[in-house]
A and B are shown apart, each in its own frame.
Chain A
Amino acid sequence: MPLLTVKNLRTQFSTERGTVRAVDGVSFTLEEGEVMGLVGESGSGKSITALSIMRLIKEPPGKIMADELTFDGVDLLSLSPAQLRDYRTRHIAMIFQDPMRSLNPVLTIGRQITETLRRHLRLSGGDARRRAIELLELVGIPRAEKRLDEYPHQFSGGMRQRVMIAIALSCNPRLLIADEATTALDVTIQAQIIDLVRRLRADLGTAVIWISHDLGLVAGLCDRVSVMYAGRIVESGPVRDVFYRPAHGYTLGLMNCTPRVDDIGHRLKPIDGMPPNLAEPMPLCPFLPRCEKAVEACSVKRPLLETVANGHMAACHADLSDHWRKDKVA
């Protein structure tokens, strides 16, 4: 049984201008200890997918629907508020994009870590403090004992993200959702955080959903990647397959506008146009207006997610095999 099963997840928001389908039929499964990347541009529904799994969408105006949303066999959509609170962080933890703003500015770091420990693990004050020191040391914060009594503004961005990770990991969750967790950090700190996540996965067997728009980072960290566009997964598969043999026009577009160290001199090609308005019905492929590889079938019916190769799925009518990296494909 997979650790997390998401089947036909739909998250909608009622607004004055109609219903916005922020997530519109997302399905995937995640195995124990697996690291999955979720990529796509801003507004493609990555974060909403994550927040839906955490049940952190405010209802109303939001509404989460799914044919199946189970974690280790437990239906997340039918949890009571109390069960839900127990689930968060205890089993599924999440770290957010902006480390500068995800810690409460008026509480000490120690207070924020121990609060979670005391709530979920029922540790006493002293035990929680000792555990908090261990956690800070685990994520590489020097002089942890002393820094517990400091406030968030006394920490740098990278340090704060480490604290967030320490809090997220405090109860040994089986799934960690990282929403753009390194986007706000500079590259060297980014590398350290990635390293940390890798180590945690190896040591603790934590499954990870890594949300990012940095393809290079996803390539280096993840086993599998899902590409989202306009609230749907348009392509998904093993990292190498998806990146070397993209089977969707949008994935190809993303690859073409990503700088590569081994391809100096190659001009980057931006994707023209804007993502579609999610409040309007989309009978055809949502990427069609921006797609350069569109074929006749594209203006007739909407492509469905179909298997391209073993474990590699895409929702695209076009044949993109001309653009595959022959040198990398066996």
Chain B
Amino acid sequence: MATQDASSPAATPATYESGTRMALRQLLRNRAAAIGLFGVLLIVLLAIFAPWIIPYDPTAIALSSKLQPPSFAHWLGTDHFGRDVLARMAYGARVSLTVGLSTVAFAALFGVPIGLLAGYVGGQLDNVLMRLMDAFLTFPPLLLGVAIVGLLGADLTTVTLALGIVQIPVLARVVRSSTLVVREETYITATRALGAGAWRLVSQHILRNILSPLVVQITIVFSAAIVAEASLSFLGLGVQPPTPSWGRDLSEARRFMVDAPWLFMAPTGFIIVSVMAINFMGDSLRDALDPRSWVRRAAPTKETADAPADR
């Protein structure tokens, strides 16, 4: 909704405020959504405020206190260098979230316009763009990631690039197929009859109508990127030490699986919880973004009660 507000600055604010608030209320009404939102919020806050919450430096080596089990001093224990695991998880979340967000942004930056263009214009352009996307899809994502990182060296930018490229066709296809459906709707023809140009039609009417599937797909891409980043780091191809990363810590924890199981449980837990929380949130965002699914809080008025229940 923020894009709409930005593109039509003088629009009556009351309309949008109520729309956004309705969406939010709908989101919180759903229990899975509330849990998902809570989980995501928790990890985001942990990542942002890590230096203020956790009194340990995630890279400070203290061999005297290595491999300690969870305690009040170290909630999630310490690793083989005596580093606080919780601190490493919190700082690792920064990497995961950064990679996740920038992957989504990168993939959406290319995938959404490509999908809209292919779906709206159709014909030969659609054919060319989609075959190109198909070509992208034939690469096994992780292998492509390994290749790109191997070629360009491992850092946050190349990892994002590698993960983003494989997600472009995923978003492009979802956007295209939804656009194809919406394009044929009577209200699109009606809007054209009202004198709307192609740009307005696509940016305001079509994009707004495909937002639900798009947002769901974006959350899926987001969580997939977190897992993929963890996988690359696990293989030693992600961000390089000493920067903490969930995947890397998991990889190192393998050696101490028996002696210090908390070492692998922590990153595993963080990966699982963040992916699930994001997916929960995405699922219910779909409902929250569709005004037709909003349950009216106020008692129905005469007219709305008269309205038939058809869609």
Instruction: Give chain A's interface residues, CB within 8 Å of chain B.
Output: 54, 56, 81-82, 85-90, 93-98, 100-108, 110-111, 114-116, 118-120, 124-126, 129, 142-143, 147-151, 153-157, 159, 164, 167-168
Whether the Cβ atoms of A102 and B195 lie closer than 8 Å is no
Distance between A167 CB and nearest chain B CB, rounded to angstroms: 6
Distance between A319 CB and nearest chain B CB, rounded to angstroms: 42
Distance between B309 CB and nearest chain A CB, rounded to angstroms: 9
Q: How many angstroms between the C-alpha atoms of A101 and B191 in the bound complex?
A: 11
Instruction: Give chain B's interface residues, CB within 8 Å of chain A.
Output: 10-12, 14-15, 18-19, 185-187, 189-197, 200, 204-205, 208-209, 211, 289-292, 296, 303-304, 306-308, 310-311
Q: A107-B205, A154-B303 are in contact. List 16 more A-B contacts (CB 8 A).
A: A87-B195, A88-B192, A88-B194, A95-B190, A100-B311, A101-B185, A101-B186, A108-B15, A115-B194, A125-B11, A147-B303, A148-B15, A154-B304, A155-B307, A157-B308, A159-B303
Q: How many angstroms between the C-alpha atoms of A124 and B311 in the bound complex?
A: 32
Whether the Cβ atoms of A89 and B190 lie closer than 8 Å is no
Whether the Cβ atoms of A114 and B12 lie closer than 8 Å is yes
Whether the Cβ atoms of A85 and B303 lie closer than 8 Å is no
Residue in contact with B18 in the complex, picked from A103, A120, A149, A167, CB distance below 8 Å: A149
Known contacts A108-B19, A155-B307, A156-B307; A86/B291 CB under 8 A: no
Known contacts A104-B187, A114-B12, A151-B291; A85/B196 CB under 8 A: yes
Question: B291's closest neighbor in chain A, by CB?
Answer: A151
Q: For A102, A126, A159, which residue has the most chain B Cβ atoms within 10 angstroms?
A: A102
Whether the Cβ atoms of A93 and B193 lie closer than 8 Å is yes
Residue pairs across A and B with Cβ atoms less than 8 A apart, 28 shown, are A54-B193, A85-B196, A87-B195, A88-B192, A88-B193, A94-B193, A101-B185, A101-B186, A102-B186, A104-B208, A105-B209, A105-B291, A105-B311, A106-B289, A107-B205, A108-B15, A110-B12, A115-B194, A116-B195, A119-B194, A119-B196, A147-B303, A149-B15, A150-B304, A151-B291, A155-B307, A156-B303, A164-B190
Residue in contact with A104 in the complex, picked from B197, B209, B303, B310, CB distance below 8 Å: B209
Contacts of A167 in B (CB 8 A): 194
Contacts of A86 in B (CB 8 A): 195
| Nearest 5 CB-CB pairings of A with B | A125-B10, A88-B195, A101-B186, A102-B190, A151-B291
Whether the Cβ atoms of B195 and A120 lie closer than 8 Å is yes
Q: How many angstroms between the C-alpha atoms of A61 and B37 in the bound complex?
A: 47
Q: For A89, A124, A142, which residue has the most chain B Cβ atoms within 10 angstroms?
A: A89
Whether the Cβ atoms of A106 and B192 lie closer than 8 Å is no
Q: How many angstroms between the C-alpha atoms of A107 and B4 in the bound complex?
A: 11
Distance between B295 CB and nearest chain A CB, rounded to angstroms: 12
Whether the Cβ atoms of A111 and B15 lie closer than 8 Å is yes
Known contacts A102-B186, A110-B15, A157-B308; A116/B194 CB under 8 A: yes
Contacts of A153 in B (CB 8 A): 291-292, 307, 311
Contacts of B191 in A (CB 8 A): 104
Q: How many angstroms between the C-alpha atoms of A243 and B193 in the bound complex?
A: 32
Q: How many angstroms between the C-alpha atoms of A90 and B189 in the bound complex?
A: 16
Distance between A133 CB and nearest chain B CB, rounded to angstroms: 11
Question: A90's closest neighbor in chain B, by CB?
Answer: B195
Contacts of B187 in A (CB 8 A): 101-105
Q: How many angstroms between the C-alpha atoms of A96 and B310 in the bound complex?
A: 18
Q: How many angstroms between the C-alpha atoms of A93 and B195 in the bound complex?
A: 9
Q: How many angstroms between the C-alpha atoms of A3 and B296 in the bound complex?
A: 47
Question: B307's closest neighbor in chain A, by CB?
Answer: A156
Contacts of B205 in A (CB 8 A): 104, 107
Distance between A206 CB and nearest chain B CB, rounded to angstroms: 16
Q: How many angstroms between the C-alpha atoms of A151 and B143 in the bound complex?
A: 47
Contacts of A118 in B (CB 8 A): 10
Distance between A320 CB and nearest chain B CB, rounded to angstroms: 38
Contacts of B185 in A (CB 8 A): 101
Q: How many angstroms between the C-alpha atoms of A316 and B69 in the bound complex?
A: 98
Whether the Cβ atoms of A103 and B190 lie closer than 8 Å is yes
Q: How many angstroms between the C-alpha atoms of A299 and B111 in the bound complex?
A: 59
Known contacts A106-B209, A107-B208, A124-B10; A89/B15 CB under 8 A: no
